[in-house]
Structure 1
Amino acid sequence: MKPLLKMLVPLFVLALVGTASAADDSWQKIKSSGELRIGLDDDFPPMAFRKADGKLYGFDIDFAEAVGKKLGLKITWVPTAWKGVIPSLYANKFDCIWNGMTITKEREEKVNFSKPYMMDGQVAAVVMSNTSIKTPADLGGKVVGIQQGSTAMKAIEALPNKPGQLKQYETNPKAMLDMESGRLDCVVLDNLVARDIISKKPGVYKILPQFITKAPFGVAFRKADNSLRNKIQETIDELVASGEAAKISRKWFAEDLTNPANW
């Protein structure tokens, strides 16, 4: 019996390895179909949004399309309610989620993320003429505005020096206008939202260096789809190395936000 068991054990191990490999044919299926279906919230500028013509625009749209082009894949966008985006992924309504999705410990328990392809987070914005506030550490005692119900409150709590007064606004643009009028020293808000507002009024506002809190963005895949995740990651890395990712980033943000050296 023992010699027989010695012969069977290696065969059993090989069978398990073969089964595991065969189980993860996620990339091969996508390659064979020639299509990558991506779930997204199509009202999240500047990452993904629609213009009057009904077409999708945004950084994530351009970046994913560049990955698809390099892999010879057609990208099919599947608009989805964000609240149910992960269940929809596991219901096979699409193959991945690519839409400024923040990598969190809670989400990592449910999905397989790519490496961060962009760093988002809360930042401090001031008017261009402000020279007294150079970093978020200078906000102590200042009058600071935030959007009601936003994650900016957590950023305020993370500040080493607390503001002297905190004003809450219905929207970030309203807070920025109040700052422009001199009623605020600073506005704390999401980095990408800040950049979108600034792009529409160049020369009026500026973002202070350093994130107050960070929120890395990643592409989310089903836990079992390692080969698909790895192939997409490999292609993202190639686009970063070639400078194509930087080109797309500069189109939307006027600088390269895909380079980890800038985070």
Structure 2
Amino acid sequence: MRKRLISLGLIFVMLMGLTTTLSGCGQNVTQKADTQDTWSKIKKRGTVVVGLDDSFVPMGFREKSGKLVGYDIDLARAVFKLYGIKISFQTIDWSMNATELRNGTIDLIWNGYTKNPQRAKVVAFSKPYLKNQQILVSLKKNKINSFDDMTGKTLGAQSGSSGYQSLIDNPKILKNKIAKKTPVQYDTFTNAFLDLNAGRIQGLLIDSVYANYYIKHESNSSDYTETVGNFPSEDFAVGMRKGDKTMKRKIDKGIQTLKANGTLDKINKKWFGDQKVIN
């Protein structure tokens, strides 16, 4: 019996060691992939994979027909057309975008992606190309015309969004005022608007580019109120792995080329009118 116990003990130790080794290998593979410059591989296969939330109007969303359209869709295609590379758009869980990038499921995050210090720790960014800000959207009947009017009321925000991060990072601006000092989190803004219209939440913290486009195209657009608070303005940029230095140069150069030849201005006016392009 003693020998059997010793044998079982040795097997357990060996299995634990193997598990640790395999786990370590997985981490090493992920870390190695994150530091590789993948441009030559992408160029050779002729396709780059872009991750997005396909309900984020007007940056990237699906029409009723199922066709994928949007500002970032047009911009990404125009940039990579310069290099003879096609784009495969991959719908992802937005809260997992950095993980999908590190794992190699996608090559880029290009979908109204805000550049901020937290994300910059794990993701490399292109130069910013569009201004954005977080605003509070409510129904006029709720009589919410300032952030103070949200005191004790329920707020919605998208999980993993820059708006949610701004809310957490700047609690005195809005978070400490709302019910339970905690927002209701949604996978998509579409679901958040459904709850806002149904009265399950009284306010929604949302990107101005989304709110302006969404409300403008609603039949009851006059029913909404938009309130600008003191959250800092944001810059939209393309997210990529830390090692993709060539990718960064190509995207930055591509956007500059589109600005110079007038394509960027056409895309901007198509989707935003006079929305400020900062590149």
- Pick from 112, 127, 130 the counterpart of residue 118 of structure 1: 130
SS in structure 1 of the partner of residue 238 of structure 2: strand
Provide the C-alpha distance between the structure 2 equivalents of 1:199 and 1:126, rounded to a whole number of angstroms. Answer: 14
SS in structure 1 of the partner of residue 110 of structure 2: strand
Root-mean-square deviation (Å)? 3.9
Between structures 1 and 2, the one with greater helix share? 2
- Write out per-residue CA displacement over residues 163-208 of structure 1, whole angstroms, 9 at most, x where no aligned residue: xxxxx99955887999xxxxx9x99753113211342259958978
Partner of 1:248: 267
TM-score (norm 1): 0.65
Unaligned regions of 5+ residues in structure 2, if any?
Answer: 1-34, 140-144, 158-163, 178-182, 185-190
1:143, CA displacement in angstroms? 5.2
Provide the C-alpha distance between the structure 2 equivalents of 1:24 and 1:228, rounded to a whole number of angstroms. Answer: 11
How does 1:1-16 map onto structure 2 within 5 Å?
none
Matched, 1:190 2:207: yes
- Write out per-residue CA displacement over residues 12-46 of structure 1, whole angstroms, 9 at most, x where no aligned residue: xxxxxxxxxxx865222222222111111212111
Cα pair distance change 1:87/1:201, threshold 3 Å? closer
Provide the C-alpha distance between the structure 2 equivalents of 1:78 and 1:139, rounded to a whole number of angstroms. Answer: 38
Partner of 2:67: 55
Matched, 1:94 2:101: no
1:59, CA displacement in angstroms? 1.0
Provide the C-alpha distance between the structure 2 equivalents of 1:239 and 1:206, rounded to a whole number of angstroms. Answer: 35
Cα pair distance change 1:252/1:206, threshold 3 Å? farther
1:52, CA displacement in angstroms? 2.2
Unaligned regions of 5+ residues in structure 1, if any?
Answer: 1-22, 128-137, 163-167, 179-183
Between structures 1 and 2, the one with greater strand share? 1
Provide the C-alpha distance between the structure 1 equivalents of 2:138 and 2:100, rounded to a whole number of angstroms. Answer: 40
Instruction: Please tell me whether the aligned partners of residues 42 and 50 of structure 1 are also in contact (alpha carbons under 8 angstroms).
Output: yes
1:222, CA displacement in angstroms? 0.7
Residue-pair matches, total: 218
- Write out per-residue CA displacement over residues 85-123 of structure 1, whole angstroms, 9 at most, x where no aligned residue: 212112211211111111121111101111111121124
How does 1:38-77 map onto structure 2 within 5 Å?
38-77=50-89
Instruction: Please tell me whether the aligned partners of residues 147 and 171 of structure 1 are also in contact (alpha carbons under 8 angstroms).
Output: no
SS in structure 1 of the partner of residue 242 of structure 2: coil
TM-score (norm 2): 0.62
Q: Percent identity?
A: 32
Instruction: Please tell me whether the aligned partners of residues 148 and 171 of structure 1 are also in contact (alpha carbons under 8 angstroms).
Output: no
Give 1:236's aligned amino acid. Answer: I
Provide the C-alpha distance between the structure 2 equivalents of 1:143 and 1:210, rounded to a whole number of angstroms. Answer: 12
How does 1:1-263 map onto structure 2 within 5 Å?
25-123=37-135, 148-150=155-157, 151=164, 157-158=172-173, 189-200=206-217, 204=222, 212-259=231-278
- Write out per-residue CA displacement over residues 236-259 of structure 1, whole angstroms, 9 at most, x where no aligned residue: 122123331121121112224323
Provide the C-alpha distance between the structure 2 equivalents of 1:207 and 1:190, rounded to a whole number of angstroms. Answer: 11
Provide the C-alpha distance between the structure 2 equivalents of 1:125 and 1:149, rounded to a whole number of angstroms. Answer: 10
